[in-house]
Amino acid sequence: MQYTIPLKVLVRESGRLFLFFLVGTVLITSLQELSLKGLLIKFITLSTLFISYFAINIVLFSFFDKRRKYPGERISRKTFAIGYPLTLIVFTLQHTLLLYLHNTGIFVQKSLPGTGVEPLNGWQLAIFISYANFVMYTFIFLIHNFVIDQYEKNRIQMELLQLKASNMETTNQLLQQQIKPHFLFNALNILKSLIRKDPKSAETYLLKLSDFLRVTITKNKSGTATIREELKICNDYMEMQKIRFGDALIYHVNLNEKDEFYNKKLPFFSIQPLLENAIKHNELTPENPLCITIETEGNSIIVQNNLQLKTKVEVSTGNGHSILKERYKLLTGDDVQIDQNDKAYSVSLKILDE
């Protein structure tokens, strides 16, 4: 895999550095007695020098970036090793040009100590050129290298976030797939019981089950659903259960909310397992009916039922509740809140953030 350095960012930062150098040059030359022609010549030569530095550095970074042998390979050392001598040549040519213009009288300035163009010779000139080029190129190189390092860190962080999101989506889909066999297993057991006891009710139940499965299997692929969609699933499910239990089961939805509330999101298929769990673990008789209510409290949906536990729980796959907890932990980072006392059992589902 090859990385692509942020050319646009490098060019933008180079432009800022150029302005920084330009302002510094203007401040220095303001202390020197230069003609308009002298100012123009100095501006052109220095602009050419800085732009050459930026261009050489960016081209070298890009060149070595395309030839990385492995993703984490560092290219800064190679860039500096070649960039420094190349910019040294450019700096030497520029300095030689200024000396020529100075000696021919085209560009004459009164220099302050340590500034401007001075007639250095021999080893003094070599040291001056090497040192000045080293300072300027190193500064530009470090800025460019910092920009690239930050870009790669941000890119790696984004890839990790995308990978985490993809992993969460995959895990959520797997957990959803576990819910459907769990529900279907219990539904078929109920249907089997109805066929023996009440064939006509079993036929109605089968039609309701068919409609319910069509909605739950084909309706949602995103892992979340609106509260309106979740309530529709619950209503369909409870109609099926009313066929089985009649007056032994009471179901109320107490949500006096505005329309926009019903467009908020919950994990798909999150309320129905709670209804199923309540029916599975409690006694249901016309004399002591099981009463299940759905209401809101703050930013949560509360599913509550009166507690009249069975002494023997009917057989099922038994993992619907734990799957719901895993999905909520995955999607929100929060746990499902469960409250229980001698008379009631309630589960609080936090509405997902937009």
Give 9 or 271, the one with higher predicted confidence: 271
Using alpha carbons only, give the angle 213, 218, 219 rounded to the nearest 5 degrees.
Answer: 100
pLDDT surpasses 80 at 257 = no
| Dist CA 154 CA 149 (whole Å) | 9
| Dist CA 85 CA 96 (whole Å) | 16
Q: Are the C-beta atoms of residues 118 and 111 closer than 8 Å to each other?
A: yes
Give 219 or 223, the one with higher predicted confidence: 223
Sorted by sequence, the CB contacts under 8 Å of residue 136 that are 6+ apart come out as 53, 87, 91
Domain spans of the chain? 7-161, 198-350
Q: What is the mean pLDDT of residues 257-286?
A: 87
Give 131 or 70, the one with higher predicted confidence: 131
* Dihedral sign from CA coordinates of 42, 45, 48, 51: negative
What is the per-residue pLDDT across 97-119, written as a single tens digit (0 to 9) for each? 766 766 676 555 544 444 444 55
pLDDT band at 69 (very low <50, low <70, confident <90, very high): low
| Dist CA 326 CA 335 (whole Å) | 8
Least confident of 126-135, 257-266, 276-285: 126-135
Mean of pLDDT over the chain: 77
CA distances from 134 to 43, 120, 145 (A): 21, 18, 16
pLDDT at position 173, please? 57
pLDDT at position 83, please? 81
Torsion of CA 173, 181, 219, 194, to 10 degrees: -160
Give 312 or 320, the one with higher predicted confidence: 312
The pTM of the full predicted model, rounded to 2 decimals, is 0.51
pLDDT at position 12, please? 78
pLDDT surpasses 70 at 2 = no
pLDDT at position 30, please? 59
Winning range, highest mean pLDDT, from 129-138, 244-253, 304-313, 320-329: 244-253
pLDDT at position 329, please? 76
pLDDT band at 310 (very low <50, low <70, confident <90, very high): confident
pLDDT at position 113, please? 43
pLDDT at position 114, please? 44
The pLDDT > 70 percentage for the chain reads 73
Fold of 198-350: Heat Shock Protein 90 (3.30.565)
Q: What is the mean pLDDT of residues 166-175?
A: 58
Give 6 or 230, the one with higher predicted confidence: 230
Q: What is the mean pLDDT of residues 188-199?
A: 86
